[in-house]
Structure 1
Amino acid sequence: MLGHKERDQGELFITGSLRQLLPDDHILVRVDRVLDLSWLRGAVADLYCHDNGRPGIDPEAALRLMLAGFLVGIVHDRRLLREAQVNLAIRWFAGYGLHEALPDHSSLTRIRQRWGADRFRSIFERTVRACITAGIAKGEVVHVDASLIRADVSWESLVARHVEGVAEVNGDEATISQRNTKKTGRYKKVSTTDPDATMATNGRNRRLEPTYKQHAVVDDVRGVVLDVEVTTGEVNEGQVILERLDATAATSGQAIVTATADAGYAYAKVYGGLERRGIDAVIPAKADPMRSAVPLRRFRFDPHRDVVTCPQGKILSPGKVHNHGRFFVARARDCKACPMAKLCLSPRRSARTVMISTDYPALLRARRRRERWSADEKHLYQRHRWRSEGFHGEAKTWHGLARAVRRGLQNMRIQSFLTAAAVNLKRLAAALWMLLCWLLGPVGRSSGKEHRCDGFLMPRRRLGPASA
C-alpha cells in the first residue's frame, strides 16, 4: 500500500530532551560523554566585570560552540551559527533549546580576543592530561613533525618589502639597493592584510606562499596530540623541536624516552640537545652536502684537542666563532705545498677553512647509528609517518586546518589549539565508546553508568558477582 506522510507539523513543544533525537554514536554525543567544562567559568572569571555591564554568554556554551564547529568541520563562525540554527546536535551540545536564540557570530570573535591564546592553550593541555589519565597516552615515545598552513590572504595583498630603507636613498642608489637585496635574499614579499604570515614552501618545485607553520608532538600509543605550537612559515623546524619536547614533558609529567622526526630535523644541535636530555633520537641523519671535491667528512675533528685534521694530516686551528659553530683554518704554507690544493681550495683562497657546527660529534654518532638501525627502529620510524603526518592530514582534511580561518599569529594559535583539543577529545571519546560497547553492550550505552574523573566522564568498572 502506498504510504502518505503529513508534512504540516503543528506541534510547538516536544517532551524530553533533544538528546533523545540524536544517535548514540554521533560525534558530539560521544565527545559529550568525556567533556566536563564546569571548571571553565572560574578560570575566566577574572576577565569579566562582576557588578557592571550586560550578562555575557556562558563561557561553557561559547567553548562548546567552538569545539562543535571543529569537531564537525565547520570552522567559520558565521557558517557555524547558521548551521546551529537547524542542527539539533550542535544546539544540544552547546546547551541551547529549540526556543532559545543563538548568539551572534561576532560574539565568538570577541570571546577569543578577550580570553587570549594562552587560555586556549590551557584548555588544550587539559585534554592532554585527561588522555594520559585515561591511559590512552603515555608520553614516553613521541613523534615530532611540522606542517605549513596557508594564511587567509590573497595573492593581490602581497607586496615587495625592501629591507634597505628605500626612502633614505634616491635615484641610482635605490636601483642598486633593490638589485642587491634581490641577490642576497633580503628582498622579500609580505602581505599587507596579514603581516605575521611569511613566505614558505614545502617543496623546491612549488612556489612560495604566505603561510604559518604548526609544530606538533604526537604520542605513539593512539595518536594523542601532546603539544602543538604555531610559528611563522619561515621558522626552521630544528629551531623549536627541543623547546616543544620540553613543553611536552612538562604537560604530561612524563620523561620522554624516544623521539622520532624526519630528516628535516637532522641537525647537530638537535642530536646534541636530545642526548643531553637522555632522549633516544630516531631521526635519519643526512650526509654532508658535496660542496667541494674534498668534503667536510674527509676532515677529522678531535673534540678533546679542539683541532681538525685534514686528509693530508695537517692541523687546522680554531678561529672565528659562528652562530652555529666555529671556523677552523689551516696554515697558508701547508696548503701551498699540499698536492690536493687544486681540489681543496677555491681560486681566491690561500688556505682551507671548514666550519664545525656545535655538537658535531653528536651528528657523527647519529650518522653511524643510522647505518645500523635495528628492525624496531625502522618500524618506529614508519609509525612516525602515519602517526605524526597522519594527524596533520586529519586536521587539514576533517577539521579545517588546511587554511587559516582568521588573520594574525595569535588567532592562528587559537585555531591550532582548538583543533588539537578537538582531536584529543575525539580520541578519548573513541576509547570510551569501545569500552562502553564492551562493558555495557548495545542496550546500556545511554544508561548513565558513569562517574567523573579529573574533569572528564569515565565508565564504571564491571563489578564481580561478590561486589555486585
Structure 2
Amino acid sequence: MWLDLSWLRGEVADLYCDDNGRPGIDPEVAIRLMLAGFLLGIVHDRRLMREAQVNIAIRWFVGYGLHEALPDHSSLTRIRQRWGEERFRRIFQRTVQACIAAKIAKGEIVHVDASLIRADVSWDSLAVRHMEAVSAANEDAEARKSRKTGKFKKVCVTDPDATMATNARNRRLEPAYKQHAVVDDLRGVVLDVVVTTGEINEGQMIVERIDAAERTTGLAVRTVTADAGYAYAKVFAAFENRGIDALIPAKAEPIRSPVPLRRFRYDAKHDILKCLRGKVLYPKRPLKYGRFFYLRARDCAGCDLASICLSKGRANKAVVVGNDYPALLRARRRRERWSEEDKQLYQRHRWRSEGYHGEAKNWHGLARAVRRGLTNMTIQAYLTAAAVNLKRLAVALLAHLLGLVLLTLNMAPIEDP
C-alpha cells in the first residue's frame, strides 16, 4: 500500500533493451533490495546479498522464494550507475508524497540542518595542493597570498569530490561531504535532502532547499527553524520576501573594533547611518555584497572617540553595510521577542532535524560514505531518507490499525461470563 513501485518500470524502460542482452533484474526488486539494506543498516552490497540469502524477511520484502536465486551484488552497482541520481531522487520524492497523503507531514513548519559525512578514503590518499613552484616561476603575488588565505589545504586524490571540513574549531579537518536536510515538524518526515562537498556553507543552501521542499510537497512553508550557522542577513531577507517566519537565532556581530558596526544606528527609510556622536554617514562606493558609508574628515576631527573609532592612519570613518542589513536588524529584534511557543518550536529543531541526522548515521549507515564520488554519495542520501520516511509510514500504519482494533473492541457488546 505504502510502497508502490509499479511506476518504476516505465520510468527506467528507456535504459533497457527488450530484444538483446541478458534478462534484466526487475527494477522494483532492485530498489526493494537497496531499501531493505538501508532499513537494516546493511549498506554494502556484498554483505546485503549474503544476508538476503538466509534472511526470510528480506526475501519476502523483495518477493523472492526460498528456492529462487538472488541477483549478484554487482548488479546493484551497475543499476545505480545506469539509473543516475535523478531517478533515485524521484523515488525519494514518492515517499515524501506518500507521507503527505497519509497526513503525517504537513510541510508548514520545517527544520533545516546540515551534517558532515566522512568520505570513503584513507588518510594516505591525501595530498597537499602545491603552488610554490608555480608562484616562484611566474612571480604571482596572488598565488603566494593563497598560502595565507587557507587555500593551501589537503586534497583527496582518490575522491576529488570530497573536501576537507570540520564541524568544530577544535577538531581536525577530514575529507567529507555535507548533507543538507529539510525535516517536517509533525512526525519528522524528511521533505528534502541534498549532498554537497564538505566546504559548502549552510547559508548558501537553505533558501534553495526550502523552495525544493515546497515543489516536492506542493505546500507552502510557513515557519523555518535552523541553528545560528544559518543566521545571515541574506537568509533573513529571502524568507521575509517569501512571507516565511524564520526562527533562527541571529548571531551577535563579531567585535573587531572598539566601536563595532552594531553601535551605529541605521535609518533604512532614509538610507543613512549615524555614528555614536550623531554624525551622518552617507553611502558611497558600492561593493559586491553591500556599500561603503563614509564620514568626512572634518566631521571626525576633534571627536573624543577618534582615537578608538578610527583605524590607524585614517582621518575619517568608513564602514561597510551589507545589502540586507535591515533584515538582520529585524531578526535580532525578533529574537528578543520570541514567545514560549517559538522557544518550544526551536527546541524541537534538535530532536527533529539533528535527530534525523543522528538516526541516519547510527542506524542506517550514513556516518560514512559507502562509495566515492558526489553522485554515489547523493544516491546514498536519497535511499537513506527514503528508508527513514518508510519507517515513519510504517509507524503511522501500525497506529492506524491499532486504533481500528481498539475502536472495534469498544463497539463490541460485552457478554456475560
Higher helix fraction: Structure 1 or Structure 2?
2
Shift of 1:443: 12
Question: After the TM superposition, which residues 132-147 of structure 1 pair with which residues of structure 2 at under 5 Å, given as runs?
Answer: 132-147=100-115
Would you say the 8 A contact 1:61–1:94 is kept in 2?
A: yes
Question: After the TM superposition, which residues 2-401 of structure 1 pair with which residues of structure 2 at under 5 Å, given as runs?
Answer: 34-162=2-130, 164=131, 166-167=133-134, 169-170=136-137, 180-401=145-366
Query: What is the rounded CA distance, in whole Å, between the counterparts of 1:210 and 1:332 in structure 2?
Result: 50
Shift of 1:320: 3.1
Query: What is the rounded CA distance, in whole Å, between the counterparts of 1:463 and 1:226 in structure 2?
Result: 38
Shift of 1:37: 0.9
Q: Structure 2: which amino acid aligns with 1:246? A: D
Shift of 1:463: 11
* Overall identity of the aligned pairs, in %: 70
Counterpart of 2:404 in structure 1 is: 439
Query: What is the rounded CA distance, in whole Å, between the counterparts of 2:408 and 2:275 in structure 1?
Result: 76
Assess, with a 3 A threshold, how the Cα gap between structure 1 residues 382 and 168 changes in structure 2: closer, same or farther: closer
Q: What SS class does the counterpart of residue 352 from structure 2 fall into?
A: helix
Q: Structure 2: which amino acid aligns with 1:386? A: W
CA RMSD of aligned residues (A): 2.3
Query: What is the rounded CA distance, in whole Å, between the counterparts of 2:99 and 2:249 in structure 1?
Result: 30
Match of 1:413 among 375, 378, 382: 378
Q: Which moved more, 1:66-75 or 1:311-320?
A: 311-320
Shift of 1:308: 1.7
Q: Structure 2: which amino acid aligns with 1:347? A: K
Would you say the 8 A contact 2:135–2:144 is kept in 1?
A: no
Query: What is the rounded CA distance, in whole Å, between the counterparts of 1:47 and 1:322 in structure 2?
Result: 49
Query: What is the rounded CA distance, in whole Å, between the counterparts of 1:178 and 1:364 in structure 2?
Result: 38
Shift of 1:190: 0.8
Structure 2: segments with no counterpart, 5+ residues: none
Query: What is the rounded CA distance, in whole Å, between the counterparts of 2:235 and 2:51 in structure 1?
Result: 46
Q: What SS class does the counterpart of residue 269 from structure 2 fall into?
A: coil
Shift of 1:179: 5.8
Q: Structure 2: which amino acid aligns with 1:244? A: R
Query: What is the rounded CA distance, in whole Å, between the counterparts of 2:135 and 2:327 in structure 1?
Result: 47
Query: What is the rounded CA distance, in whole Å, between the counterparts of 2:40 and 2:388 in structure 1?
Result: 11
Would you say the 8 A contact 1:178–1:187 is kept in 2?
A: no
Q: Cα deviation per residue 1:428-452 (whole Å; 9 max; x = unaligned)?
A: 01100111122247999xxxxxxxx
Shift of 1:34: 2.2
Query: What is the rounded CA distance, in whole Å, between the counterparts of 2:156 and 2:198 in structure 1?
Result: 13
Query: What is the rounded CA distance, in whole Å, between the counterparts of 2:344 and 2:312 in structure 1?
Result: 47
Shift of 1:304: 2.7
Assess, with a 3 A threshold, how the Cα gap between structure 1 residues 463 and 70 changes in structure 2: closer, same or farther: farther
Shift of 1:178: 7.5
Q: What SS class does the counterpart of residue 120 from structure 1 fall into?
A: helix
Would you say the 8 A contact 2:135–2:143 is kept in 1?
A: no
Counterpart of 1:453 in structure 2 is: none
Q: Structure 2: which amino acid aligns with 1:43? A: E
Would you say the 8 A contact 2:185–2:352 is kept in 1?
A: yes
Structure 1: segments with no counterpart, 5+ residues: 1-32, 445-461
Query: What is the rounded CA distance, in whole Å, between the counterparts of 2:210 and 2:412 in structure 1?
Result: 42
Would you say the 8 A contact 2:132–2:144 is kept in 1?
A: no
Q: What SS class does the counterpart of residue 184 from structure 1 fall into?
A: coil
Query: What is the rounded CA distance, in whole Å, between the counterparts of 1:181 and 1:170 in structure 2?
Result: 16
Q: Structure 1: which amino acid aligns with 2:93? A: E
What's the TM-score, normalizing by structure 1? 0.84
Q: What SS class does the counterpart of residue 213 from structure 1 fall into?
A: strand
Query: What is the rounded CA distance, in whole Å, between the counterparts of 2:133 and 2:48 in structure 1?
Result: 45
Q: What SS class does the counterpart of residue 55 from structure 1 fall into?
A: coil
Shift of 1:170: 4.0
Q: What SS class does the counterpart of residue 182 from structure 1 fall into?
A: coil
Query: What is the rounded CA distance, in whole Å, between the counterparts of 1:106 and 1:212 in structure 2?
Result: 25
Q: What SS class does the counterpart of residue 285 from structure 2 fall into?
A: strand
Shift of 1:89: 1.1
